[in-house]
Amino acid sequence: MDTLNIEELKIPLYQSSPNIKTYRCPHCNRFLFKGNVQKLNMVCHHCQKMISADDNELMMSEEITIS
């Protein structure tokens, strides 16, 4: 049997990218997903309302919820 170095078996930790943003529904403020998109067209899976926004609109709604 081959001897393996324990260091070789370790799974590298997930490193998040600074470009990854957390997107929340502007209607119910619940978590949608993490990613990096320019335009978002989808139905919120929590409140079932349509979300149609570009990156600037999403950032403005994020600033409102943080304040």
- Residue in this structure with the two tokens 């998109």, named with its chain if needed: 37
Alpha carbons 19 and 8: distance in angstroms, whole number: 29
pTM above 0.75, yes or no: no
Cα-Cα end-to-end distance for the chain: 59
* Tens of pLDDT, residues 16-57: 677 788 888 889 999 998 888 888 899 999 999 999 988 777
Q: Is the pLDDT of residue 61 over 80?
A: no
- Beta-carbon contacts of 43 under 8 Å, excluding residues fewer than 6 positions away, are 49, 50, 51
Alpha carbons 57 and 65: distance in angstroms, whole number: 13
